[in-house]
Structure 1
Amino acid sequence: MTQKLWGGRFSEDITSEVLEYTLTVDVDVRLLPHDLWQNVAHVLLLAQQGIINMDAARSLLNRLGELDREREAGALTLRPEYEDVHLNLEQMVIEKLGLDVGGRMHTARSRNDQVSTDARLYLREVLLSAMTANLDLIDLLAEVSDDDLTTVLPGYTHSQAAQPVSVAFWRTAHASALSRDVRRLRDAFDRVNESPLGACALAGTSFNLDRDATARLLGFDRVLTHALDATSARDHMIEAAAVFALGGNNLSRMAEEIVMWSGHEYRLCEVGDAFSTGSSIMPQKKNPVVAELVRGRSGRTVGVLMQLLTAVKGVTLGYSCDLQEDKPFLWQSIDTYLSALRIVEAQTRTLRFDPGRGEELCWVNFSTATELANYLVAEAGVSFRESHHVVGRVVGQLLARQATLRDLDLVAELVAAEGYPVAEPVLRDILAPRNAVNGYTSAGGTAATSVRRTAAELRERSAEQRAWVDERQADLTAARAATFRCAEEVAAGVALDKALPAALCAVTDKESR
């Protein structure tokens, strides 16, 4: 007969090939602290509800405390023959306490609600870490200096130079996009932070559980009530993966600009040597490899989203082993996204723009032609469509003569020939890229006053979001500490009806922290 904890009806054990194919211990290592926390909370409530006796509860809590201390010391290792983190810990408890005591820990629970609970406990910490990493990058990008405000570069549409912008405008544009990623992460946290514990396999249980109390001990906001939905749901993981994919794409777009603008044809910016490598054959090369890898690896986050959507779409309600494929892929997305956020922040600190080159490209690419059209509308009283045609013809003739808007005498001649004479000093003022940048004074525009206002709003929003992250992290830390403190007290002989209410109070009483 098989010796597996689930093997009562089986006459022989699974083969080594099946074990290797189905085990998840390498993936479950991340869930180890969370499974221990969950086990402690579950045992406390089993005892509180009279489902197990106090002697068994004290022995179980004492053993779980030992295992958690071993984990903190780096001495707790999962064994492949026990398949996953849940059976590993249960086996470790049974080996020490015997089947009669250790075998009671899994009462009124299934690995189905257990794994879903663990994954949520882990994922909500990831979401908070991702928010913090985004906020760090947002704060850095929103730290605009006077040089950032005065250094111009071409803005691009259709990969063609369009209108001049400032470096500060570019920095705050990316910070603005990242700010939405933070909001998405926060929204995802709300749906992740629901407790499936107590749903058991799919139908609930006949035991009198207090699911609200275990949810509170585990720091959840609420119980995910419907048992079948609670064990089947993976939409919260897909939602998180979607946020990681969107965030990865935003980082990739920033990386793409840095890669492109670092090239000799642009020469707009340069990353620090520590974030570049050279060529094995061409001694002149400085390759922005970090930005290239951020751009390339963002594809992993997109791939994970597609994998999860595909894996889940054909699974009926109720647990199927297809669903254990969620974690390996999601873990990859998590690692890819968090590492990209951190390396991009570090690289951004070294990023330098060439103000002379940026202004030169604005001139030679006719980036201020729109300003001349706007001037004719404002001062000559013509319609914008007429002025658009006039300036378009002027640009066409300049190109034919291999001239630019910097050739002011020729520009003045061509504009006058169109019937709208403008003095050269006025043209010089209209067409200067820096003047154009400072002239876009509309809300969200490139003018220094507008960019400073935008940067201040981004920093203010970031501070609010960071305060929320800190508060939520403090909630989770307090919940775990209260749960383990309660377990230690009960294991040491303190009455459960005294220790547990105090723990639940500590979880909810934020003012006392």
Structure 2
Amino acid sequence: MSTKLWAGRFNKGINDEVLKYTATTETDQRLIKYDILGSLAHIKMLEKCKILSTHTAGKISNALIALYRENENNNLTLNVEDEDVHLNIEKMVINLIGEDIGGRIHTARSRNDQVVTDTRLYLRQAILDIKELLESFSSSLLELASRNTESLAIGYTHVQPAQPITVAYWYTAYASIFTRDCKRLENTFNSVNQSVLGACALAGTSFNIDRLYSKSLLAFDGLIENALDATSSRDFVIETISSLATIMSNLSKLSEEIVTWNSFEYGLLDIDDSFSTGSSIMPQKKNPVVAELAKGKVGRVYGALIQILTTIKGVSLGYNCDLQEDKPMLWDAIDTVRSTINILHQHVLTSKYNSKRASEMSWKNFTTITELANWLTKEKDIPFRRSHRITGELTNYLMKHGLDLRSHSEVNQFLSKFDIFISKEKLSNLTDPLEVVKKQISVGSTSPKSVLAMIDNLSRQLADTKSFTVSKLENIKICEAKLLQKNL
């Protein structure tokens, strides 16, 4: 006869191959802490509702706390024979205090609500951890921006030089993106931080439990009330991986620019030797492998999103074992995003933008010609479409003769056809890249004044999102500390 905790109905044990195929112990290893915390909350709730005596609840709680401490020291491992983290912990409790008391731990609950509880507890912590990493990265970007408000850079469209910008403007663009990602993670956290404990298998329980009390013990913000929904829905996993995929997309954008700008042809970004590797055959090579790998790892997270969407679409209401496949992909997505944020943060801090190269490229690629077109419209009352055509023809003329906008006499020679004259001083003021940058006055533009305003605004937004993170982490920490207080 089977020795499984659920084996009363069975006449023989599970096939070894079936056990190997269905076991989740390897994946569940990182859920041990959260399974114990969920069990502690459940036991305290059963005691409050007088379903368990104070003596019984105390014995079980103390056994769980002992296992928690053992796990903190990395001395707790899951036995594949016991299938998953839930049965492992329950069996450990029974081994410590006997079945007469330990066997009551599973009263008024199911592995169906346990696994969702564990996953939500783990996931909310992971979300806050990733959010902290992004907040730190964004803070560094704003600090770098504040020191580079007049350092010239080039803005691109269609991977072609477009208009001059500042390095600070580039940094604040990514700070803006990642701050928005932090807000997206807040929304994801709010979806994840909902209690399902007490939903049991799918239909609730005839025990007079208090689900709101266990919710508060675990610092959940809300309750998924319908038990059938609570145990079978994984939309919170989809939402989490979707947010992670968006973050990786944004990190990939940054990585692509690092790789491109570091190339010899661009020569705009010098990356530190410690973030590069060489070639096994070509001695001259210095390869931007970190940024390349960051781009490559995006596929892992995108793949996880497609995989979870594919899995969930084939699952009806009520728990199905398809759902246990959500965690391996979720764990990998979390680990990938966490490590990528960390490495790119350090990568950016150790890289240096070549503003001198940007200035020369800006002249050679006519990135300031738009400002000349604007001047013709504002000062000469020429319709912009005509100004655009005149300056476009001027660009073509100068390029054919190997010249640029620093060639004052040739510029005036061309513009004379349109009865336009511009002084050398005015032309320089209108077309010098750094002067052009300073002329941009619209909200969100690249001028130093505008960038400083954005830095101030983004700093306030970051302070708000950091406050959210700190508040939630502190609340979770307080609740966990209370759950881990031993019963005398």
**Common fold, TM-score beyond 0.5?**
yes
Q: CA offset at residue 53 of structure 1?
A: 2.7
Structure 1, residues 231-254: CA drift from partner, whole Å, max 9, x if none?
Answer: 111111110101000000001100
Shift of 1:416: 1.9
Q: What amino acid is the match of 2:440?
A: Y
Q: Specify the code of the residue in structure 1 equivalent to 2:101.
A: V
Q: Tell me, which stretches of 5 or more residues in structure 2 are unaligned?
A: none
Report Cα offsets for 1:281-300 as digits up to 9, x if no partner.
11111111111111111121
Q: Could you say which residue in structure 2 is the equivalent of 1:502?
A: none
Give 1:207 deviation, angstroms. Answer: 0.5
2: CA distance, partners of 1:176 / 1:378: 32
2:29 match: 29
| Separation in structure 2 between the aligned mates of residue 35 and residue 200 of structure 1, nearest angstrom | 15
Per the normalisation by structure 1, the TM-score is 0.93
Q: Which range moved further: 316-325 or 71-80?
A: 71-80
Q: Match of 1:49?
A: 49
Q: Label 1:146 to 1:334 Cα distance change in 2 as closer, same or farther (>3 A).
A: closer
The answer on 1:188 being equivalent to 2:167 is no
Structure 2 counterparts to residues 31-180 of structure 1, below 5 A: 31-144=31-144, 148-180=148-180
Q: Distance in 2 between matches of 1:7 and 1:212?
A: 32
Question: 1:409: which partner in 2?
Answer: 409
Per-residue CA deviation, residues 359-387 of structure 1 (Å, 9 max, x unaligned), is 01111111011011001001100110110
Alignment correspondent of 2:385: 385
For 1:74 and 1:87, how far apart are their aligned partners in 2?
19
Contact residue 153 and residue 358 of structure 1 kept, 8 A: yes
2:447 is equivalent to residue 442 of structure 1 = no
Q: Give the aligned residue type for 1:83.
A: E
Q: 1:147 to 1:55 in 2, by over 3 A?
A: closer
Once the two structures are TM-superposed, the CA of residue 407 in structure 1 deviates from its matched residue by 2.2
SS across alignment from 2:105:
coil
Pair 147,184 (structure 1): closer, same or farther in 2 beyond 3 Å: closer
In the other structure, the counterpart of 1:469 is 469
1:402 alignment partner, SS class: coil
Letter in 1 for 2:165: V
1:455 CA displacement: 0.9
CA contact (8 A) 1:412 1:427 kept: no
User: Cα offset for 1:466?
Assistant: 0.9
Q: Distance between the aligned counterparts of 2:94 and 2:34, measured in 1? A: 19
TM superposition shift of 1:146? 6.5
Superposed, 1:392-403 pairs within 5 Å as 392-403=392-403
**Which whole-Å CA distance do the structure 2 matches of 1:146 and 1:317 have between them?**
53
* 1:217 paired to 2:217: yes
- Residue 453 (structure 2) aligns with: 453
Once residues 314 and 10 of structure 1 are traced to their aligned partners in structure 2, the CA distance between those partners, rounded to angstroms, is: 29
Q: CA deviation at 1:483?
A: 1.5
In 2, Cα distance between equivalents of 1:466 and 1:38: 27
Work out the CA distance in 2 between the residues paired with 1:83 and 1:74.
Answer: 20
Matched letter for residue 372 of structure 1: L
* In structure 2, distance between residues paired with 1:146 and 1:176: 14
Aligned-pair identity in percent equals 44
**TM-score normalised by the chain length of structure 2:** 0.98
Amino acid at match of 2:39: N
3-state SS of 1:387 partner: helix
Matches within 5 A, 1:316-355: 316-355=316-355
| CA–CA separation in structure 2 for the residues paired with 1:47 and 1:396 | 83
How many residues align? The count is 488
Q: Secondary structure at the match of 1:165?
A: strand
State the secondary structure of the residue aligned to 1:236: helix
Q: What amino acid sits opposite 1:212 in the alignment?
A: L
Work out the CA distance in 2 between the residues paired with 1:449 and 1:243.
33
For 1:284 and 1:418, locate their aligned partners in 2 and report how far apart those are by CA, in whole Å. 51
- 1:6-21 matches, within 5 Å, as 6-21=6-21
Tell me how far apart the structure 1 counterparts of residues 146 and 36 of structure 2 sit (CA, whole Å).
52
- Write the letter of the residue equivalent to 1:180: R
Residue of structure 2 equivalent to 1:481: 481
* Whole-Å separation in 2 of the counterparts to 1:58 and 1:473: 27
Structure 2 distance, partners of 1:393, 1:153, is 25
In the alignment, is residue 266 of structure 1 matched against residue 244 of structure 2?
A: no
- AA matched with 1:354: N
Question: Could you list the runs of 5+ residues in structure 1 that have no partner in the other structure?
Answer: 493-513
User: Kindly tell me: are residues 9 and 146 of structure 1, through their superposed partners in 2, closer, same or farther at Cα, counting changes over 3 Å?
Assistant: closer
Aligned to 1:38, the other structure's residue is in SS state helix
Q: Report the alpha carbon displacement of residue 316 of structure 1 after superposing the two structures with TM.
A: 0.4
2-side partners of 1:219 and 1:147: how far apart?
41
CA contact (8 A) 1:262 1:270 kept: yes
